[in-house]
Structure 1
């Protein structure tokens, strides 16, 4: 057997596995059909007489064949509903042609065919077959009644017989419609559950991505500034080590203090991540606040800005701080201001060493205006890549990566409903401007 034949066989088997299988109600219905057929065949009172030429044994053989076809059709009405209904209708037609009266087999099989038509056949073909079944039932009952009455029957009696047949058909059709509606509702519920499960899985993955971004942003905020200060102090200490040991010693002391502070911040971050690990993803999937909106540790606020400015001044940066506060600043807004100022000062110190830096904060009228600008520096790298912190930075092995400074600041500001702009100044240098509503930190 070739590989193509094996693939075709596997595809056929896969198609057969996907087909619906007979359920236990179908098996019981098939057994009922066989039981009714055997009763009709064994009881001479209800056994129909064959009309076409042939012996009684021939009539019994044809009847057994009809019973078998009805049983198989009933068993497969869930798997092949159209073929099952057509086969049952043909059985009823052969029975009317071959026998003088109706048997219980035809009545039971016909009603099951009507129920299968309305419950399982696709529309509009179900209505076409149902109309044909109604016409066939009316014609069949009239034919059998005329045979029984010697081809003479009053119109009123014929109308009553047809009406009774149609009433039974209507009951079977309504039962099929009710079953179809129940199945469709069950399928709709299953589809909705699958959709909700997929949505929940998507939200879970989104929460994981947001959590990763939050961790990256917090690590960048906590460690990036300290490493920048350490790098600047190390360069200064190396430059003055031979000529001014006292200055070098002071720079090394700043490096030690900054490194210890960075280690403490990283430990606090790891502790909080461990404590939040079990609840961060479920809370986000349940509609709680996004992970990026929650502080990771005890966030610094406006009160720590003075210490931040003093630390930057220690590396030799000429920094001016202007504070105008006429209203209380919520803690989330204060933490956001601290991180934005920290990131902006880190970029200024790293990319424009020696340039004058100015920080201005004004709190008035329910909003906070933050401005961080630095003058041009001869040694600064140029343009947007230098001042925003999104420049490509090369590692020792030549690999290049993209920074997260501006992205981190934008995420923090936008999370509180504020706006942030950053751009080059006409006279050189860079400016970061953020506007934060005070109400954003109270929500």
Structure 2
């Protein structure tokens, strides 16, 4: 709209009275359309401007404000819309066209004074340079904005990916904790219940101890599950929970299973207090899961538990003998997966498989840590 108004007030006036005025009206309309197309089709728009300005120079043969404004828009457009070699080539063509236009146009008051005409060419070149530099500044600002938007989108995608990974890790951690807590407690309760059933008529005292152990295990499992739920519900401050189990709790764990009839031998080499809490918890859960698997798949077979504590690592060994019965209940494999996840989180190693020495099953784990 502004370009059309400039064309209307610039000389010559838009009219159909003379051929030159008709051509000028066509030039104004065509250049106005090209200005509208310069963002979507910059090459086509600049080509239309160049052709129409050439027609204006040859037929109208009168300098005016409108051709100068179109040259400034063309110089600005070369820097904002064109890329690579096109940008500078078309700008050079704009300089050449403007120079030829000023040199060939009959400018009133200049006549054959080439010195004044040279100053006019220099002034036009300066105006074109200012327009081009304005386009460069605009293009750089736009590029910086586009880069910022792209980085923001990449950051959002990275954050979304990290949130998904964190959610997956949290679900895996919850599943691992629930499996370790409930799997061990329920399997031990099942063994104790079976033992109490057989001893109910022959050994009432043993049956009473088994039922007491069942009650204790049930309450302990409920408390651990409640603590886990409290942690999950708490967003800021940690919930008040019972202390997490460590290697110091192994005798209590093994004592419960021994009362259920499983012969277990425990040996601890090294200072338990030197083991960091998170490493001790991982070792406790690995031993707990290994003992659960032993009483599930090799009930009645002797079990050996040994921990060796060095300056920077902890080695765990759980080995059970050959089961007294041939049939075994199939496992889901979640326990072994959970043990491997705990070990890998600490940068350690885990090996689980048949033990040729005993004919049973053997689990070994190496859990390192660093002192700072």
Same fold (TM over 0.5): yes
Select 1:331's aligned residue among 258, 269, 277.
277
Q: 1:173 aligns with which of 105, 111, 132?
A: 132
Determine the structure 2 residue equivalent to 1:37: 7
Specify the alignment match of 2:57 in structure 1.
96
Q: Give the aligned partner of residue 76 of structure 2.
A: 115
Task: Extract structure 1 runs of 4+ deviating beyond 6 A.
Answer: 146-150
| Alpha-carbon distance in 2 for matches of 1:333, 1:195 | 36
Residue 348, structure 1, aligned to residue 318, structure 2? no
1:413 deviates by: 2.4
1:114, 1:133 within 8 Å by CA — same for their partners in 2?
Answer: yes
Structure 1 residue aligned with 2:350? 420
The Cα of 1:204 is off from its aligned counterpart by 1.1
Alignment partners' CA distance in 1, 2:247 and 2:195: 29
Residue 366 (str. 1) matches residue 312 (str. 2):
yes
Measured in 2, the distance between the counterparts of 1:306 and 1:139 equals 100
Change in 2 beyond 3 A, CA 1:298/1:87: farther
2:79 counterpart of 1:134 = no
SS in 2 for 1:360: strand
Could you tell me whether the CA contact under 8 Å between 2:263 and 2:300 is conserved in 1?
yes
Measure how far apart 1:85 and its partner are: 1.9
Equivalence map 1:400-419=2 (5 Å): 402-419=332-349
Contact 1:319–1:356 (CA<8 Å) still a contact in 2?
yes
DSSP-derived class of the 2:352 partner? strand
CA contact (8 A) 1:353 1:380 kept: no
Alpha-carbon separation, structure 2, partners of 1:232 and 1:337: 23
Measure how far apart 1:373 and its partner are: 1.0
Distance in 2 between residues matched to 1:189 and 1:74, nearest whole Å: 29
Q: Does 1:257 align with 2:216?
A: yes
Deviation of the 1:364 alpha carbon: 2.5
Structure 2 CA distance, aligned partners of 1:148 and 1:56?
A: 27
- 2:202 is aligned with 1:267: no
Determine whether 1:310 maps to 2:255.
Answer: yes
CA distance in 1, matches of 2:356, 2:364: 15
Task: Give me the CA root mean square deviation.
Answer: 3.0
Separation in structure 2 between the aligned mates of residue 145 and residue 229 of structure 1, nearest angstrom: 108
Question: Separation in 1 of the partners of 2:209 and 2:252?
Answer: 17
Please say if residues 363 and 369 of structure 1, whose CA atoms lie closer than 8 Å, have aligned partners that are also in contact: yes
The alpha carbon displacement at 1:245 in A equals 4.4
- Tell me what 1:429 maps to: 360
> Aligned partners of 2:310, 2:127: CA distance in 1, in Å?
82
Q: Which residue is equivalent to 2:192?
A: 233
Structure 1 gap ranges (5+): 1-29, 42-46, 281-294, 387-391, 394-401
Q: In the TM superposition, what whole-angstrom CA distance separates every residue of 1:270-293 from its partner, at most 9, and x where no partner exists?
A: 1121114x799xxxxxxxxxxxxx
State how 1:197-216 maps to structure 2 within 5 Å: 197-216=156-175
Look up the match of 2:41.
Answer: 80
CA distance in 2, matches of 1:363, 1:123: 67
| 1:59 counterpart residue number | 20
Cα gap change, 1:234 to 1:143, in 2 (>3 Å) = same
Q: Secondary structure at the match of 2:274?
A: coil
TM-score, normalised with respect to structure 1: 0.75
Following superposition, the deviation at residue 309 of structure 1 comes to: 0.9
Q: Which residue of 1 aligns with 2:179?
A: 220
Counting only pairs closer than 5 Å after superposition, residues 379-390 of structure 1 correspond to structure 2 as 379=325
Query: Counterpart of 1:68 in 2: which secondary structure?
Result: helix
The alignment partner of 1:417 has SS state of coil
Q: CA deviation at 1:359?
A: 0.7
